[in-house]
A and B are shown apart, each in its own frame.
Chain A
Amino acid sequence: MNAVLDAFIALLPAWTLAHAAPLLVVSPLLSGPIALMLTRGKLAWAWALLISLATLVFALVLYSQVMDHGSVTYAFGDWAPPLGITYHVDTLNLLVLLLVVFMGVLSLIYGLPSVLREIAPANQAAFFAAFMLCFAGLLGVAITGDAFNVFVFLEISSISTYVLVAMGGGADRRALTSSFNYLILGTIGATFFVIGIGFLYMATGTLNMADITVQLQGKGDDRVVRAAFAFIFIGLGLKTAMFPLHTWLPGAYAHSPTMAGVFLASTATKVAFYTMIRFMVGVFLPGSVFDSAILLLVLAPMAVAAMLICSVQALYQANLRKILAYSSVAQLGYMLLGLSMGTAAGVSAGLLHMFNHAILKGGLFMAVGIFALSYGVRRVEDLRGLGKTMPLTAAGFTVCGLSLIGVPVTAGFVSKFYLVSAALERGWWWAAAAILISSVLAIFYVGRMLEMMYLQKAPQVDGKIAKGEPVSALALAPLLLLAAANIWFMFDASLPKGLADAAAAALLGGGGL
């Protein structure tokens, strides 16, 4: 595997190797306006796909470089780190970068049929342009080593997300209000975040994240630092859809165009979660009094509340994508719970769950999108008999759904297992209990959908089973790939687990708080 990668990288020109980090962000960023100029939907799609494949190459280059050297730092214009802007890739954000790039490529492959159907021809090129900007923004947030840069890229990705969600307005008017809500809340979150960065700059005089950590030594009692921490925590909490700041998420995920839903569900909150880890246990000194207080008193209760309340809420929803969206908030609760433990085991389990949740929730949104394209399925009862009429898509949905529950032989089991172990290691019985209870709730909201698919009869027209639109292979292939990945990562989780362990150990050392 690695030998093949090395052989492939040896073929690349030297400049791609030297500048892989900036190219990863700059190429999709610049490709956005070009996509807009291409004006034709299919042309813009091909262009976006080409660029996303290029980013895949850059990401693989970074992967091999991080594997060889531990981390990669790229200083823009050769300005030494504390002064200039740097891009910094280590095991922590490498995992996120790989995730975003892969999901971006898969979403693009998957998305063409649905975009052609859902978006007005005049807007299709604009849709792909907004998608590429969002893609670039998320990669930028994940890769940069500069605190203010995080804010800039966060805004790039957010603003393009508002556009992507609002483009669902052609098919579903509720997309407009959802987008507006997200716009207001997202802006508040970004504002809090940038206020926090301002405070940090005031206290330390630097924006380089590594340098901030150095400057913060001995400033644990500084009120400005403490306020900065609270503002950054809430700002990022909103972007991560931390309960109860999640209210923008269900609408945005449920009413956006299918392809946007797939991509956002599997990447946007994950990148925000990464940023939260980066700031809360990376930039701020792990172990400081206020850090522990927030983790224990605010983050852990909110995480548990999300896991329980939003799982029940998912149980009561009728709209399929709403069910998945509420389940996402609950699953983010699992990840935040891992972070709130403040131990290497907890953070590693949270990261692993982030990875697994991205591949399984992406798959579920893809499957629901295919159902919608083929039979116009929107609600749970519309799933009747799809196990028979669309066996492949239903099988993909089933595997990802079982992974969401955490059934053994799927990836979801592995990360939940590590979460429970981490909770027990920390002595948090209640957290382990909450994970188990929430998993039982997941059995029921997933089981409800599976029961409709496999045990109910398909609707009939004139005594014959109703025929749907044929499924495009382009849409089906990424779904099946993700379903296979959900089984693969049960038996060989060395890639995500290795990166997550290394990242957690680098942040928190062996022991943690």
Chain B
Amino acid sequence: MTELLSAPLNPAWAILAAGLLIALLPWHAARKAVMLIAPIVALGFWLKMNIFGSFGQMDLDTIGAGLTTFRFDGLSRIWGLIFIIAAFINALFALHERDRLTDTMSVLYGGAALAAVFAGDLITLFVFWEMTAFTSVFLIWRTGTAAARNAGIRYLLMHISSGVLLLAGAVLLHAQTGSWAFEHIGLEAGLAGWLILIGIGIKAAFPLLHTWLEDAYPKATITGAVVLSAFTTKMAIYALARGYAGTEILIYIGAIMTVFPVFFAVIENDLRRVLSFSINNQLGFMVVGIGIGTTLGVNGAAAHAFADVLFKGLLFMSMGAVLYRTGTAKASELGGLFRSMPITAFFCLIGAGSISAFPFLSAFVTKSLILAAAADEGHWIIWLVLVFASAGVLEHAGIKIPYFSFFAHDSGRRVKEAPWNMLVAMGIAAFLSIFIGVNHHWLYSLLPYAINYEPYTFDHIVGQMQLLLAAIFAFALLMRLGWYPSEKRMTILDVDWFWRKPGKALGRWFYAIIARLWAFAMRGLDQFFGGCSAVLATIMRPDGGLSRALPAGALAGFTAALLTLALLAVYMAS
């Protein structure tokens, strides 16, 4: 009995088993109890792991692979913990929701992401990688609108392709090395390395592969968006950190990721979509950290992923609560909600402060690791890009989100405060965000590598405050002078106070051109695909050219033609 208790237990099994149980439980209360208890059990499993190692070996003779289902080491430890915490917060936030399908899928989804993080080989990783796609898509579909349905199909297509690329790369890698183990891969592995990188890149929302994120997340259900924001992308960051630490191209990919969503977020009216762009931007910081690949860089990526799950979840929860009470998350239709939802507004401000890296809040102690890693390695241009992107974060996530929903022009909406379970869930996330910011040594002790970094230095605090205060001052000045655009759809497009200096005109011109080119390219692609699918439909329909029953004579002629081809091939061969 004691042996059983001391044996290493994979926390993912607790959550996956709970998911299966929930699928069978017909009672709402029982399902919710299981949803809340499962992460606690998983946390217990996690806590009693006092050694690193690989456990849960299985042999799959049919394809000659030995599987490792539970690898517990520095990297998977911290990801495992944050996924367990996220599963608990998500369950709490969704406590009021009476929907067996959503309950089942969100728990299985979290469990699959956790299992993927603990996977020690590429086959296990692939299985759970695909499982996250198949389970999470229901969180999008459950909204029930045609738009959500179509977005879900596009989402599924991207994510299945991601898994297929991963598997293809894994098979290739196995052909080269004879091993299925998931260790450092890198681009040295040739085609296999590229295939797996692109497969991971889809889930990590690399530029040009990112469209599913901003497309699908805002269309998910209220609770679904919160769940989605936690797992998929962070799982991909884990896989990158495991397989591609120190791959230089990631530095540039990450830098682009931090910058380009800022522009889109600035002009976006749907606040949940703004947050989706913000996910993309935060992922960029982590990708840069992994690309730098020093122990400080990877530590920074891990720490920032940890913090991001909390504050991004918090922001998604607060917008979810607003959407739940008012029925909209559009900036132009909200405003003044602090009067009726003061607690939600407070938690939203904590989240906004955390993502903007205010001192004593989480991102201040995590993002700075990545910036310091960039500076240590002499990537000054990248460092400047990251600083610029940090300011952009403050604009779109730090100010725009709370300002337009809770303050600004009063929309006249008087609604009830968010339900208690949502408030508690937000409270836990807010507390943890502050806890990390204040007690950073606790988080640093969980990082994959030993760390010797002190975020609370005079320079760092002053530098960060200069950046933040300048942005807030600019904002306040504009408000005072009445130049700040009111929150209408069109005027939001003009929120460009950020680049008020000479760069402004150039930036606008540049943006306009890009937007036009983009629209042109999209229209062209639409026409191309529309044309293709029309042609396909005419050929492939049940009564279409290819499927029509041809007269037997024509078929006989066809057969003879093929015989001629075969005879020619046979005679020509020499």
Contact = CB atoms under 8 A, between A and B. Distances in A.
B29 interface: no
B164 interface: yes
B160 A322 contact: no
B304 to A, nearest CB: 32
A429 B63 CA distance: 20
Interface string B548-572: 0110100110110011011101111
A319 B542 contact: yes
A440 B164 contact: yes
Given A238-B559, A251-B549, A497-B62, A229 B570 contact: yes
Contacts of A432: 168, 171
B457 interface: no
B257 to A, nearest CB: 26
Which of A178, A313, A440, A455 counts the most chain B CB atoms within 10 A? A313
A185 B559 contact: yes
Contacts of A189: 559
Nearest to B138: A455
B146 to A, nearest CB: 14
Interface of A: 177-178, 180-181, 184-185, 188-189, 192, 223, 226-227, 229-231, 233-234, 237-238, 244-245, 247-248, 250-251, 289-290, 292-294, 297-298, 309, 312-313, 315-319, 322, 408, 414, 417-418, 420-421, 424-425, 429, 432-433, 436, 439-440, 443, 455, 490-494, 497
13 contacts: A192-B559, A230-B567, A245-B558, A245-B562, A289-B573, A293-B569, A293-B573, A298-B565, A316-B537, A417-B63, A420-B168, A491-B62, A497-B62
B147 interface: no
A197 B558 CA distance: 22
Given A227-B570, A247-B555, A420-B171, A439 B164 contact: yes
Contact of B546 (A180, A231, A309, A491): A309
A417 B566 CA distance: 30
Contacts of B161: 440
Contact of B563 (A230, A250, A421, A497): A230
B172 interface: yes
Given A234-B559, A424-B175, A290 B570 contact: yes
A424 B171 contact: yes
Nearest to A229: B570
B573 A292 contact: yes
A177 B574 CA distance: 43
Interface residues of B, number: 44
Given A184-B556, A226-B571, A294-B569, A234 B171 contact: no
A313 B573 contact: no
A232 B536 CA distance: 34
Contacts of A319: 542
Contact of A185 (B123, B552, B565): B552
Contacts of B566: 230, 233-234, 294, 298
Contact of A490 (B62, B160, B164): B62
Given A177-B549, A247-B550, A414-B62, A421 B175 contact: yes
Nearest to B546: A313
Interface string B131-169: 000000000010000000000000001001100100110
A184 B555 contact: yes
B563 A192 contact: yes
Contacts of B536: 312, 316
B337 to A, nearest CB: 35
B179 to A, nearest CB: 14
Contacts of A318: 542
Interface in B510-563: 536-537, 540-542, 544, 546-547, 549-550, 552, 555-556, 558-559, 562-563
A414 B63 contact: yes
Contacts of B168: 420, 432-433, 436
Contact of B547 (A250, A297, A491): A250
B387 interface: no
Given A188-B559, A298-B565, A491-B62, A313 B540 contact: yes
Nearest to A491: B62
B166 to A, nearest CB: 11
* Residue of A234, A414, A418 ringed by the most chain B CB atoms within 10 A: A234
A185 B555 contact: yes
B127 interface: yes
Q: Which 8 A/B pairs are nearest by Cβ-Cβ distance?
A: A293-B573, A316-B540, A184-B552, A230-B566, A290-B570, A226-B570, A230-B567, A234-B563
Interface in B2-44: none
A234 B537 contact: no
Given A177-B549, A294-B569, A421-B175, A443 B540 contact: no
Given A180-B552, A421-B175, A440-B160, A298 B569 contact: yes
B119 to A, nearest CB: 13
Contacts of B61: 492, 494
Contact of A244 (B164, B540, B562): B562
Contacts of B569: 230, 290, 293-294, 297-298
A317 B542 contact: yes
A436 B164 contact: yes
Contacts of A292: 573
Given A227-B567, A230-B570, 4 more contacts: A231-B563, A316-B542, A317-B547, A318-B542
A420 B141 CA distance: 33
A313 B547 contact: yes
Contacts of B572: 293
Contacts of A433: 168
A443 B153 CA distance: 12
Interface in B219-278: none
A225 B172 CA distance: 39
B499 to A, nearest CB: 43
Nearest to B550: A247
Contacts of A184: 552, 555-556
Contacts of B571: 223, 226, 290
Contacts of B171: 417, 420-421, 424, 432
A230 B563 CA distance: 7
Nearest to B551: A181
Contacts of A226: 570-571
Nearest to A251: B549
A151 B196 CA distance: 49
Given A234-B559, A293-B570, A316 B552 contact: no
Nearest to B537: A316
A297 B572 CA distance: 11
A294 B550 CA distance: 27
Contacts of B570: 226-227, 229-230, 290, 293-294
Contacts of A247: 549-550, 555, 558
B62 A492 contact: yes
B555 A289 contact: no
Contact of B555 (A181, A294, A440, A455): A181
A109 B574 CA distance: 52
A421 B565 CA distance: 30
B97 to A, nearest CB: 18
A322 B552 CA distance: 19
B157 to A, nearest CB: 8
A69 B571 CA distance: 40
Nearest to A178: B549
A290 B573 contact: yes
Contacts of B540: 312-313, 315-316
A364 B127 CA distance: 24
Contacts of A309: 546
A322 B540 CA distance: 12
A244 B62 contact: no
